């Protein structure tokens, strides 16, 4: 049997492997391999957060409840990660647990996160710590949230506290997860707290405050922690016109790309051209990559300018669709990595994953994205790690628990973790630090 991708796909009926090179692709020593989670999605009973408050009052379609009970089961989960060959793990600190009322620090929560970090380090898992992953303390949102004039300094106060308490056990920090997605969902689409629809002015104020919060947090972390590496996790869709021959589509794609992939960087002061300036607000960039955004311009005015997402039905090159309706488009990871490498900073893939119950597709997804990551590296892009989303199935925000992104399934009653088959393939890649042709199942 051949190891060429084309033949492999014909033999397995996958029909989706690109013709891949049979040679081994090595990653550099110290490359970070692992998975990612966020506290509200896995911990359970995250009672002091705004999401919890909105869920409980029926303003969101699903409640998080016990989630995966990771708050209690983290040691067992980290045992799994370690046994799966991981050497890194991304998780978040829940601001609302640390500061359940304004200016009041919860020492039990601090002790919990100290144990979490120790548990990671004891298992040889490099912590990658997110300080804000979509949720806020309920008191913060009630008091105006990211529209508050002092929101950035209120956030930076929490970050400073965390840095002092936990800083010596963390090297990789992510200040904010996907600021653009957070603003879109919360202030434009009206789907996430604070549930505001088409509130463009408020969206701009909150966006600016998030950017300011990142910069202040960056400074605080560096004041306190000598070896800190500070970035944020950027959702990096590859934006393209639906019809490249159509000028309107090209313009709409450019506008979208600016809003989704450039605006936040400009607001924090990062620029392709000025590396000194960039180095004052970022040490590395977290890249969350899932799919491409194909944009079609319709109607007139602002609608035409922003365009809308094309459903791709008429695109003959459309990839497989995940259960969340996101197209599988691995080459986009290479394109995104190449694009963001222009800042001259290391890139860490902080999320990449698929919601599916088709385990062949999940495995295929991981391998094809890693092929593209390796290609980017071979072309000179400095990628320092890959973290799959997610360690286990979890509470996927307004979609509830239906999408299955996990390396492990989680029993809804017993919370037992059930590792999925791809864990073995990914394990081999992590341990060998190498993508060796195609894993045995397809060889």
Residues in contact with ligand FCB by CB under 6 A are: 38, 41, 177-178, 181, 235, 288, 351, 389, 396-397, 405
What is the smallest separation between the CB atom of 195 and ligand FCB, expressed in angstroms?
Answer: 18
* Angle of CA points 366, 368, 374, to nearest 5°: 100
What is the smallest separation between the CB atom of 437 and ligand FCB, expressed in angstroms?
Answer: 29
What is the smallest separation between the CB atom of 105 and ligand FCB, expressed in angstroms?
Answer: 26
Token pair in block for residue 269: 């002061």
Token pair in block for residue 81: 């990660």
Token pair in block for residue 31: 């490359």
37 vs 297, which CB is nearer to ligand FCB?
A: 37
Spatial contact of 389 and 404, defined as CB atoms under 8 Å apart = no
Spatial contact of 380 and 334, defined as CB atoms under 8 Å apart = no
What is the smallest separation between the CB atom of 3 and ligand FCB, expressed in angstroms?
Answer: 32
What is the smallest separation between the CB atom of 441 and ligand FCB, expressed in angstroms?
Answer: 26
Spatial contact of 406 and 426, defined as CB atoms under 8 Å apart = no
What is the smallest separation between the CB atom of 390 and ligand FCB, expressed in angstroms?
Answer: 7
Give the Cα separation of 20 and 136 in Å (integer).
Answer: 44
Token pair in block for residue 308: 């809308």
8 vs 174, which CB is nearer to ligand FCB?
A: 174
Spatial contact of 190 and 196, defined as CB atoms under 8 Å apart = yes
257 vs 396, which CB is nearer to ligand FCB?
A: 396
Spatial contact of 257 and 292, defined as CB atoms under 8 Å apart = no
233 vs 384, which CB is nearer to ligand FCB?
A: 233
Closest to 176 (Cα-Cα) out of 140, 125, 225, 230? 230
37 vs 165, which CB is nearer to ligand FCB?
A: 37
379 vs 400, which CB is nearer to ligand FCB?
A: 400
What is the smallest separation between the CB atom of 11 and ligand FCB, expressed in angstroms?
Answer: 31
8 vs 203, which CB is nearer to ligand FCB?
A: 203
CA-to-CA separations, 46 to 49, 54, 107, 158, in angstroms, rounded? 6, 12, 16, 17
38 vs 96, which CB is nearer to ligand FCB?
A: 38
- Where would I find the beta strands (DSSP E) of 223-371? 229-235, 238-241, 285-288, 292-296, 308-309, 347-351
Q: How many CB atoms lie within 10 A of CB 325?
A: 12
What is the smallest separation between the CB atom of 405 and ligand FCB, expressed in angstroms?
Answer: 6
């Amino acid at each position: 049997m051949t190891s060429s991708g084309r033949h492999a796909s014909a033999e397995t009926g996958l029909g989706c492997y690109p013709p891949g090179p049979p040679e081994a692709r090595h990653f550099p020593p110290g490359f970070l391999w692992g998975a990612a989670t966020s506290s509200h999605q896995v911990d359970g009973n995250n009672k002091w957060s705004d999401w919890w408050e909105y869920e409980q009052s029926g303003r969101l379609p699903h409640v998080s409840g016990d989630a995966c009970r990771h708050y209690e089961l983290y040691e067992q989960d980290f045992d799994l990660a370690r046994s799966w060959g991981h050497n890194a793990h991304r998780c978040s600190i829940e601001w609302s647990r640390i500061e359940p009322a304004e200016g009041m620090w919860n020492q039990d929560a601090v002790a919990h996160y100290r144990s979490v970090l120790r548990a990671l380090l004891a298992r040889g898992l490099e912590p990658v710590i997110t300080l804000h992953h979509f949720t806020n303390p309920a008191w913060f949102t009630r008091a105006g949230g990211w529209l508050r004039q002092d929101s950035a300094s209120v956030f930076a106060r929490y970050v400073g506290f965390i840095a002092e308490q936990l800083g010596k056990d963390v090297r990789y920090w992510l200040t904010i997860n996907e600021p653009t997605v957070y603003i879109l969902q919360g202030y434009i689409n009206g789907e996430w707290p604070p549930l505001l629809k088409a509130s463009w002015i408020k969206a701009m104020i909150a966006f600016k405050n998030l950017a300011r919060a990142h910069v202040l947090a960056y400074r605080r972390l560096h004041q306190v922690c000598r070896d800190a590496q500070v970035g944020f996790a950027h959702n990096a869709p590859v934006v393209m016109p639906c019809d490249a021959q159509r000028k309107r589509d090209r313009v709409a794609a450019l506008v979208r790309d600016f809003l989704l992939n450039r605006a936040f960087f400009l607001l924090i002061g990062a620029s392709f051209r000025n590396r000194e300036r960039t180095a004052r607000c970022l040490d590395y960039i977290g890249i969350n990559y899932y799919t491409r955004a194909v944009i079609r311009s319709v109607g007139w005015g602002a609608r035409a300018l922003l365009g809308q997402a094309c459903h791709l039905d008429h695109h003959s090159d459309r990839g497989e669709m995940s259960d969340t309706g996101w197209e599988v488009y691995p080459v986009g990871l290479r394109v995104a990595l190449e694009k963001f490498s222009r800042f001259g900073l290391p890139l860490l893939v902080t999320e990449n994953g698929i919601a599916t119950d088709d385990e062949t597709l999940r495995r295929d997804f991981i391998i094809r994205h890693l092929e593209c990551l390796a290609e980017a590296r071979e072309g000179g892009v400095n990628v320092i790690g890959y973290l799959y989303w997610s360690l286990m199935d979890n509470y996927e925000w307004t979609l509830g628990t239906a999408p299955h992104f996990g390396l492990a399934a989680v029993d809804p009653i017993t919370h037992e973790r059930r590792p999925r088959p791809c864990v073995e393939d990914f394990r081999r890649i992590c341990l060998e630090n190498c993508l060796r042709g195609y894993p045995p199942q397809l060889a």
